[in-house]
Amino acid sequence: MLKHQITSSVKCVIAILLTTPPYIEPVDRMVLVSENLGHQGFYGIYQKKDFPYNTASTDFPALVPNSDIHVRKSSIGQLTTYAAYCSTRFSEHDIIQKITKEWKQITEEKYFNLNLDKDMETACYEIIRNTEPNHLKISNLKSHSECSDGVLVSLILSNSIKVVGPYSSFAPVIPTGDLTILADVGLSINQIILWGEAYRLSRVLRSKIKILVWYHGQLHIFEEITGQQNRWVPITKVGKEEENGKEIYEYFSQRIMGLTEFQKEVSKASKLGSKTRLTVVKDNKFPSLFYEDPTGNIAYTSIIGSKV
C-alpha cells in the first residue's frame, strides 16, 4: 500500500524520440504519452518548432535547473530513445506544457514512410483505380511489383483507400476512402514497420509477445496471436492514435525496470531543499529495450472481430 502511495504521488510523462540518420530526409519527431489525462490517457506527437532548420542536435527537451521535474533516459535502438519526466509538484498536463515549449504538436501529415518511393505509390494507386472492383484484393495487388506491402499500407493510411476483411487489423479502425480493397491475405509485418525494426520491453517467456514499433510515423504495439506463431495484430488503435496514450504508457511502466525506483527517488527529492534534491535523483539510465527483427504476417482476426 505504501509503495502505491509513493509512486501514485509522482506524476510522469514518457517521451519516445525518433531521429533519422544523416543520409535521408529528416523527420525527427517525439511522442509523449501519459496515463491519467482523460479516460484514455494522452498521446501526442511533436516536432521541433524550428524543424527542419535545426536538426543537428535534436534531443529530448532540456529542463531548467531546479524545475521540480526530473528526467531519466535510455536508448532503444540507434535512432530511438525514451525518457521519463516525473514530478511531485506538477500534473501531467503541466509537465507536457513545460517540456514542449520549443516543440509543436503535429496535427497534419500524421503518417509517413521513410522507405517509400512516391513514384511507386502513384503507380500502385493507378493500378488499384483501374482494377475491376471484384478483383480488388490484396492477394491480387501484391502480384504487381509497384504494390509492395509498404506502399499498400501508405495508401490506406492516407485515406485514399478503404480496406475490409479478416486481415484488415493493420488498417484504420474506421475505414475511409473512395476505393475498397479486400484484405484476403496478411501483409508482412517486416515490410510495414519502420526499417523492419521492433522493440520488446520484456523477455518474460510466459507473457504474450508484444512489440513496440514505429508504424508509418506513429507508435503502435503489436501482439503475437496465441496459437498463431509469427502472426501479428495491433492492440493499439490505428487511425485513432490519440486514444492510445494510456495503453502505451502502461506498457512502458509495467516493463521498464527501474521506473518505480526512479519515482521513489523523485518522491524523496521533493521533500528536500532545492540544493540537494538533484543529488538524490541519481544520474542513472533505464535499461535499453530489446531489439528484434520480427517475421511473419498480419494475423487472421475474424475470431476477435474484423472490419467487414
pLDDT digits (tens, 9 = 90+) for 99-131: 999 898 986 667 776 656 789 999 999 999 999
CA atoms within 13 A on the CB side of 179: 24
Q: Is 107 left (phi over 0), alpha (psi -120 to 50) or beta?
A: alpha
**Per-residue pLDDT, 177:** 85
User: Cα–Cα–Cα angle for 87, 237, 216, nearest 5°?
Assistant: 90
The secondary structure of 112-176 as a DSSP string is --TT--HHHHHHHHHHHHTS-GGG-BHHHHTTSTT--HHHHHHHHHTTSEEEEBTT-TTS-SS--
**Most confident by average pLDDT, 18-32, 164-178, 276-290:** 164-178
pLDDT of 288 above 80: no
The two counts, helices (H) then strands (E), for the chain are 9, 14
Compare 134 and 110 and report the one with higher pLDDT: 134
pLDDT of 138 above 90: yes
What band does 276 get if pLDDT is binned at 50, 70 and 90? very low
Longest dimension (CA), the chain: 72
pLDDT of 171 above 90: yes
Q: What is the DSSP letter of 307?
A: B
**Per-residue pLDDT, 114:** 61
CA dist., res. 166 & res. 184, Å (int):
7
Compare 188 and 259 and report the one with higher pLDDT: 188
- Which cell numbers in the block locate residue 260? 518505480
pLDDT tens by residue, 186-237: 999 988 887 767 777 655 545 678 888 889 889 999 988 866 667 899 999 9
- Which cell numbers in the block locate residue 52? 527542419
**Per-residue pLDDT, 80:** 77
pLDDT tens by residue, 8-27: 589 999 999 887 666 566 66
What is the pLDDT averaged over residues 264-269?
A: 85
Residue with the three cell numbers 505509390:
121
- Put simply, whether the predicted model's pTM sits higher than 0.75 gets the answer yes
Cα of 104 vs its chain's centroid, Å: 18
pLDDT tens by residue, 52-104: 555 544 578 877 777 788 888 876 666 678 889 999 999 999 999 999 998 98
**Per-residue pLDDT, 299:** 80
**Per-residue pLDDT, 91:** 94
CA distances from 150 to 62, 131, 191, 214 (A): 35, 19, 6, 13
Q: Which amino acid is at 226?
A: T
Count of all residues that appear for the chain in the document: 308
CA dist., res. 130 & res. 115, Å (int):
25
Percent of the chain with pLDDT over 90: 37
**Per-residue pLDDT, 289:** 61
Average per-residue pLDDT for the chain:
80
pLDDT tens by residue, 31-57: 999 998 888 999 999 988 876 555 544
